[in-house]
Amino acid sequence: MPATFDSIATTTLGSAASSITFSSIPGTYTDLRVVLVIPSVSGATDVIMQLNSDTGSNYSRTNLTGNGSSTASGQLTNQSSLRLSYGGPSTTLPNMTTVDFFSYSGSTNKTCLITTSDDANGSGFIMRAVGLWRSTSAISTIKLECNLANFNSGTTATLYGILKA
Amino acid sequence: MANTYTLIASNTLSSSAASVTFSSIPSTYTDLVVKFSVRTTDNDTMLVGLNNVTTSFSSRVLEGNGASVASYSNSSSGRYIGYPIITTTSTFANGEIYIPSYTASQNKPFSAFTAAEANATTAYITAVADLWSNTNAINEVKFTTSTYSFVSGSSFWLYGIKNS
């Protein structure tokens, strides 16, 4: 049976850093999956993603969220990055995020499914969202970034490639 | 390049059971995924225990039933992963839990997603953010329900994912 779910690259931070970048992503897969596990962050921040170093207003998101007592749905439009967090990760407890890109090397705009799970034992949130990057370029670089603080040591990001055949 | 998404173990029930356990999970993977297809003998919630421990869990839930949406949290005993209530014969709910970095010496966040649909009967789609405040490596995953049992035919598949 052919390998259909491969680890392309992984990074575990040995010290705090504001970003993790996967570059030179091969175009040989069908879909991509990013798994990000953040033990904690150094301060209040969002976690954002930029693709192919594009800082234009080409990103948008529609989200469904819950914080343990209320629910919400909202949109972010014409953003300069794709926001993966909702309320921001904890400075003391871990959270996890996955991002699935479908047909990342195709010539259409790129959609993704974002899942962010952030229970902090008394606070936190859960989010399911769809993201859009309005670009027809193949995705070759993915940058994960804390825009106002740092990922703390131990943060792990892995990029998987998925083949349909 | 090596395949990194590997079936470790599976279990399809040949009779009703109150729990399903995967034990002696090797530590050679990076993440764990369990996919399941389940039905319970009566309306019930689905729970998970790790390493035969049922404490220090908390969760944050987002669920919809086709008519309303709700969010709620569970405290330290809330090892909740969904509400796959289907009592309709031959109809099963589906779901998965994803446990990243299961051997890391840090508290363990994980996610759960279950989806049940039973035509005119109320059923739920549920997403859960779970946290197990325990730094031990995970070597056992146990699924239970609050009160009832998983029926015959309920199936569970445990996968390991390597990042290298």
Query: What CA–CA distance (Å, rounded) separates A3 from B164?
Result: 13
Q: Residue A102 belongs to what H/E stretch? A: strand A95-102
- Out of 3.30.420, 2.60.120, 1.10.3470, 1.10.730, select the CATH number for domain A5-162: 2.60.120
Query: CA A155: distance to chain centroid?
Result: 13
Q: Which residues from A are below 8 Å from B61, CB to CB?
A: 66, 68, 126
d(CA A63, CA A60): 10
Task: Find the residue in B nearest to A122 (Cα).
Answer: B75
For chain A, the structural domain boundaries read 5-162
CB atoms B128 and A126 under 8 Å: yes
CB hemisphere CA count around B51 (13 angstroms):
15
CATH (one of 1.10.260, 1.10.540, 2.60.120, 3.30.70) for B5-161: 2.60.120
Are B5 and A96 within 8 A, CB to CB? Answer: no
Say if residue B1's pLDDT is above 50. no
The structure tokens listed for B149 are 């049992």
Per the DSSP assignment, residues forming a β-bridge with A17 are A151
Domain residue ranges of chain B, discontinuous segments joined by +: 5-161
Task: Dump pLDDT digits (tens) for A63-105.
Answer: 999 999 999 999 999 999 999 999 889 999 999 999 999 999 9
Which positions in chain A touch B59 (Cβ < 8 Å)? 119
pLDDT at res. A126: 94
**Per-residue pLDDT at B2 exceeds 70:** no
Strand order in the sheet with A19-22: A19-22, A142-146, A47-51, A82-83
- Does the beta carbon of A28 lie under 8 angstroms from any beta carbon of chain B? no
Report residue B85's pLDDT band, with 50, 70 and 90 as the boundaries: low
Nearest to A5 among B5, B69, B73 (CB): B5
pTM: 0.91
CB atoms within 10 A of CB A49: 21
Mean pLDDT computed over every residue of chain A: 94
User: ipTM for the complex?
Assistant: 0.86
The letter for the amino acid at B27 is S
Measure the CA–CA gap between B81 and B129, rounded to whole angstroms.
8
Q: For A7, which of B59, B106, B162 is closest by C-beta distance? A: B162
* DSSP H or E stretch at residue A10: strand A5-12
CA nearest to A34 within chain B: B163
pLDDT digits (tens, 9 = 90+) for B29-77: 999 999 999 988 877 789 999 999 988 999 999 999 888 999 999 875 6
